[in-house]
């Protein structure tokens, strides 16, 4: 055992170099002899299995009490009813009848905890594991993933955000090339990605090479990261324009029946687009569904929203499974906080970050379980609390990201993928 542990640290010491090698050269160059043969086979530890993430973000604060953590028979429940799922002994909201039939795929975490009770701050914390501050911007998991493990598709961006003009997680202090591509309307696909029809490829090429010629001297004189990032952005845009993978953005290529099955609304179509993108090896796709800030008229509004979520997410899980993609694609359902057990005078629920629900499915998540418990009202976590950084560390670990590694920002400040979060291995199969 000592021998094995010795070797762990052995590998650990080297992988910093390996990261650099992979990040800068596109490949690791460690000699075979340095690797440990016994460790890989004998280790009882779980290996990460997820490759991609589809991150469904419920903006505004999804009411845990009316979706996954019901308090039947108490004064806090209101109009919401519980229904059985396909996993004996577990129940979800009657507003989620289709997801109830996919419970075997989902690890429902009812013991999420955050200390951020305002939307913007909560959203920032959920995406980056750090609290928002003025002096630095922290990267989201998608950008970390591409930073460490690269783009799989050489022609497409590694991170795409759909349906929100204000995505919660960006590239932060990481280089511009790890920034998400933002798509407002999934049905419109990627705008302005085609050459104008009255310009021939030859003419276009002339313009590009002329630009490059003008820029060349400037670039050689100012070898600055930000200058390079700028020209990289142009290169990537050109690569994308000429790529056959551009078809990934065109959801009108999908059969009409399937488009209807996802739901004829931006979120449903966004989930369909997310599946298409992941099929084309985009690593991290976030789809946002807003409207969860139910200070007024909570029950009707949650029912409406939940219906959109239920249809799209259940279809997404089925579609991924049918295509053999669920094993490598982790579907995450997340939100910034939950809502109060007390129902206010407007029949609404207010912000409550001290207990809420998030869900993991696919990509190695151990489905069919409800993890953690809240107290009788659902205001506080009673058992197995998972802090936001722990939840993100779990996703990061499933993707094989080094959650214990300290990375320095350009200004020399130390950061980690999920701050001090530790992965919750019980959520992974």
Binding site for another protein (CB under 8 A): 1-2, 5-6, 8-16, 18-19, 21-22, 26-32, 34-35, 37, 39-41, 43-45, 47-49, 148-149, 152-155, 280-281, 321-324, 327, 397, 400-406, 422-423, 425
- CB nearer to another protein: give 11 or 136: 11
Q: Give the pair of three-digit tokens for residue 381.
A: 């976590």
Could you list the beta-strand ranges (E) of 4-148.
52-58, 82-84, 91-93, 106-113
CA dist., res. 32 & res. 277, Å (int): 35
Calculate Rg over the CA atoms of the chain: 23
- CB nearer to another protein: give 14 or 119: 14
| Residue 215 Cβ vs another protein, minimum distance, rounded to whole Å | 27
- CB nearer to another protein: give 260 or 376: 260
Q: Give the pair of three-digit tokens for residue 369.
A: 């379980």
- CB nearer to another protein: give 102 or 357: 102
| Residue 29 Cβ vs another protein, minimum distance, rounded to whole Å | 5
| H runs (alpha helix) in 130-279 | 141-149, 201-221, 225-241, 256-262, 266-279
- CB nearer to another protein: give 47 or 84: 47
b/e 128-151 (16+ beta carbons within 10 angstroms → b) = bbbebeeeebbbbbbbbbbbbbeb
- CB nearer to another protein: give 29 or 213: 29
- Residue 150: name the closest of 282, 330, 331 by CA: 282
The answer to whether 358 touches 387, Cβ cutoff 8 Å, is: no
| Residue 9 Cβ vs another protein, minimum distance, rounded to whole Å | 5
Q: Which residues pair with residue 52 across a beta bridge?
A: 329
């Amino acid at each position: 055992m000592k021998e094995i542990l010795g070797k762990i640290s052995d590998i650990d010491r080297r992988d910093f170099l390996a990261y650099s090698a992979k990040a800068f050269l596109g490949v690791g160059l460690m000699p075979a002899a340095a690797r440990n043969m016994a460790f890989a086979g004998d280790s009882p530890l779980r290996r990460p299995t997820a490759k991609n993430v589809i991150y469904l973000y419920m903006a505004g604060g999804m009411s845990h009490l009316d979706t996954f953590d019901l308090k039947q028979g108490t004064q806090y429940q209101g109009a919401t009813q519980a229904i059985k799922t396909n996993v004996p002994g577990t129940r979800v909201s009657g507003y989620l009848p289709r997801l109830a039939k996919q419970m075997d795929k989902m690890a429902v975490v009812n013991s999420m905890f955050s200390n951020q009770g305002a939307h913007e701050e909560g959203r920032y914390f959920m995406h980056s594991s750090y609290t928002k501050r003025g002096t630095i911007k922290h990267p989201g998991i998608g950008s970390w993933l591409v930073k460490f493990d690269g783009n799989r598709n050489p022609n497409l961006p590694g991170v795409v955000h759909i349906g929100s003009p204000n995505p919660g997680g960006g590239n932060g202090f990481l280089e511009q090339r790890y920034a998400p591509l933002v798509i407002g309307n999934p049905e419109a696909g990627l705008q302005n990605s085609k050459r104008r029809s009255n310009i021939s490829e030859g003419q276009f090429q002339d313009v590009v090479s002329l630009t490059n010629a003008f820029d060349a001297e400037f670039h050689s004189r100012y070898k600055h990261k930000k200058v390079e990032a700028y020209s990289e952005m142009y290169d990537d845009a050109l690569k994308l324009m000429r790529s056959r993978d551009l078809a990934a953005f065109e959801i009108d290529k999908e059969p009409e029946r399937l488009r209807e099955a996802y739901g004829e609304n931006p979120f449903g179509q966004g989930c369909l687009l997310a599946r298409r993108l992941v099929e084309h090896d985009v690593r991290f796709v976030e789809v946002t569904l807003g409207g969860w800030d139910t200070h007024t008229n909570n029950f009707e509004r949650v029912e409406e929203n939940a219906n959109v979520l239920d249809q799209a997410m259940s279809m997404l899980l089925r579609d991924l499974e049918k295509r053999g993609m669920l094993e490598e694609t982790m579907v995450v359902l997340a939100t910034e906080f939950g809502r109060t057990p007390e129902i206010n005078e407007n029949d609404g629920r207010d912000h409550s970050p001290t207990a809420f629900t998030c869900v993991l499915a696919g990509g190695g998540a151990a489905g069919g379980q409800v993890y953690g418990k809240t107290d009788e009202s659902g205001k506080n976590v009673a058992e197995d609390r998972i802090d936001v950084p722990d939840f993100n560390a779990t996703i990061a670990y499933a993707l094989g990201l080094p959650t214990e590694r300290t990375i320095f920002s350009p200004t020399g400040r130390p950061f980690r993928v999920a701050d001090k979060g530790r992965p919750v291995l019980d959520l992974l199969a």
